[in-house]
Structure 1
């Protein structure tokens, strides 16, 4: 197994285009981490740099405390699984899984033992004589993983391995990857743009934007306490509701005021938000913090004109607007809540999980941290 550390790592392409810029992070031995971000944010460049498939312009990459900047990819003892699977179409499953070992002149009996062990682990034993064209997408993904496993690497790097699968197979393979990590205990880096993968698979997530690392931490901690409006909007579907307005003093309290709406700031946050009175701020509240009825002292009624209802089965997403506002609000409600487009409804917002952000920098204005639910480890 391996720890992986990046110190001020940058990759600048010809024309001064930055692939990644000044990345500092450390992945602990045996940890499962997610690199998350939109297309073009640099997450795959970072993964390829760790693998040695991309040379870095500046900084150091350390594996188990040793600088590997100039170590060849094959000598880093790291396995990479790509989005395309990269299986040889003329070879059967056994041959695909054994190919790398044969190229390293591994003894035949050792190859056979390793391939059989990996096949049993991944449920591929009945498929060993099939060629890739006779396999489903999920089976091909398992073969690609098996080819990596037989190498017995100290770490796995997975570059969007589930993006070619349909929704049901993605869900199945998420579970398979978590189980595989639990069994093997190897350091794993998983690159994705899918928020569900990030929230459900990793011990920690590293959120990237424009080649830079924006925030890192346990998934639920990052979700509950985003560092800026980008993280607030990206790490959720629907994204966090963000409203532009001002913070004003009202008697002994504070309120966020925007078109057609005034929301009282919870007493626990007044002291830290007081310096922003009279200034423009961005108010953030997630969709699940809206409810059909009152939920407590920090709950306030909000009247919305419904524009659409997305019935997802286990829940309904109600999208509506406050009178006088152009910004839609999304509320995540139970499957039993019903509303029709054009209807006026009163929802109740729990303001304790709210955030305020600076509209200039987009960064969160620090406040006492909201408690996140305990993040369970893979079990």
Structure 2
């Protein structure tokens, strides 16, 4: 196993544009880290720099404490699994998994043993004589993982390995990768733009935007305590509702005033962190799952919305409604599966304001407050 350290690592292209800018990150031995972000944010470029497939313009990259800026990819002892699987179509599963070991001059008996062990681990024993064209997408992905496993690398680098699979196979492979990490105990860096993969698989999420690392932390910590509006909206489906408002004093309380008829009182425990922003514009962040169809707790606060649509998902319904009358804004609420309301009707909903976040209306940065506790 090996730690991976990026110290002010940047990638600058010939035209002067930054692909990755000043990334500082330490990935611990055996850690499962997710690089998450939209297309073009620099996550795959960062992974390729770790693998040695992309040159580093500035900064220092260390694997196992050793600087590898000028070390060839084959000498870094990391294995890369690509989105496209990159299997040889004319070779059997056995030969695909054995190919890298053959090129390194490993003996046949050792190759056979390593391939057999990897095939057992991945459920591929009955497929060793088949060629990739006779396999499903999930099976091909397992072969690509098997080819990496037999090398016994210090770290696995996975570049959107599940993006070509359908929804059911993605769910199955997510679980398989988590199990694989537990069995092998090796460092894994996994690149994805899928929030569900990020939340369910990694020990830590590193969210990237425009080449920069925006926030890093445990999935539930980042979810509960986003650093800015980009993270708040990106790491959720539906995304966090971001509501333009004014933060005002009302007696001894602080209220988020959305319009002349709609306000949400800030919980007393958040008064001191938020009072600095009183008297000016603010962006209130409320997650869809913190809005309810009934007032089950006395501190939950009523809001009234005009129904735009209801998306029935089976286990739950997503209600899209307009909040406010002066300048209505659309919000989404994750409600029970039995909650329906006609389009254009008015419906009362109830907000749990304790997990509500306030963001600076100009910078989008979260107004600092004690982080919400989460389990994991």
TM score, norm. by length of structure 2:
0.98
Alignment check: 8 A CA contact 1:224 1:370 kept: yes
- Partner of residue 290, structure 1: 291
Q: Work out which of the residue numbers 321, 339, 346 in structure 1 matches 2:348.
A: 346
Deviations 1:333-370 (A, max 9, x none): 12122222222111100000001000111100011222
- Partner of residue 312, structure 1: 313
1:33-182 correspondence to structure 2 within 5 Å: 33-182=33-182
Alignment check: 8 A CA contact 1:295 1:350 kept: no
Alignment check: 8 A CA contact 1:288 1:332 kept: yes
Find the aligned partners of 2:13 and 2:297 in 1 and give their Cα distance: 53
Find the aligned partners of 2:276 and 2:345 in 1 and give their Cα distance: 39
- Partner of residue 368, structure 2: 366
Find the aligned partners of 2:70 and 2:328 in 1 and give their Cα distance: 54
Alignment check: 8 A CA contact 2:258 2:324 kept: no
Deviations 1:75-134 (A, max 9, x none): 000000000000001111011000111111110111111001101110011111111111
- Cα deviation, residue 278, structure 1: 1.1
Deviations 1:309-332 (A, max 9, x none): 111111111110124233211000
Alignment check: 8 A CA contact 1:3 1:27 kept: yes
- Partner of residue 187, structure 1: 187
Q: Which runs of 4+ in 1 moved over 4 A?
A: none
Find the aligned partners of 2:58 and 2:263 in 1 and give their Cα distance: 49
Alignment check: 8 A CA contact 1:310 1:317 kept: yes
- Partner of residue 263, structure 1: 264
- Partner of residue 217, structure 1: 217
Find the aligned partners of 1:256 and 1:176 in 2 and give their Cα distance: 45
Find the aligned partners of 1:257 and 1:323 in 2 and give their Cα distance: 10
SS in 2 for 1:304: strand
- Cα deviation, residue 64, structure 1: 1.1
Find the aligned partners of 2:319 and 2:145 in 1 and give their Cα distance: 40
Find the aligned partners of 1:204 and 1:177 in 2 and give their Cα distance: 15
- Cα deviation, residue 245, structure 1: 1.4
SS in 1 for 2:263: strand
- Partner of residue 335, structure 1: 337
Bigger mean CA offset, 272-281 vs 224-233 = 272-281
Q: Paired residues, what number?
A: 374
- Partner of residue 25, structure 1: 25
- Partner of residue 238, structure 2: 238
Alignment check: 8 A CA contact 1:298 1:352 kept: no
SS in 1 for 2:364: coil
Deviations 1:147-194 (A, max 9, x none): 000001010000000000000000000000000001100000000000
Find the aligned partners of 1:45 and 1:297 in 2 and give their Cα distance: 50
- Cα deviation, residue 297, structure 1: 4.3
Find the aligned partners of 1:359 and 1:297 in 2 and give their Cα distance: 30
Bigger mean CA offset, 83-92 vs 253-262 = 253-262
Deviations 1:28-68 (A, max 9, x none): 10000100000000000000000111110000011111111
Find the aligned partners of 1:11 and 1:340 in 2 and give their Cα distance: 52
- Partner of residue 199, structure 1: 199
Alignment check: 8 A CA contact 1:9 1:23 kept: yes
Deviations 1:200-219 (A, max 9, x none): 00000000000000000000
- Cα deviation, residue 257, structure 1: 1.1
Find the aligned partners of 1:304 and 1:196 in 2 and give their Cα distance: 29
SS in 1 for 2:341: coil
Alignment check: 8 A CA contact 1:44 1:159 kept: yes
SS in 2 for 1:308: strand
TM score, norm. by length of structure 1:
0.97
Q: CA RMSD in A?
A: 0.9
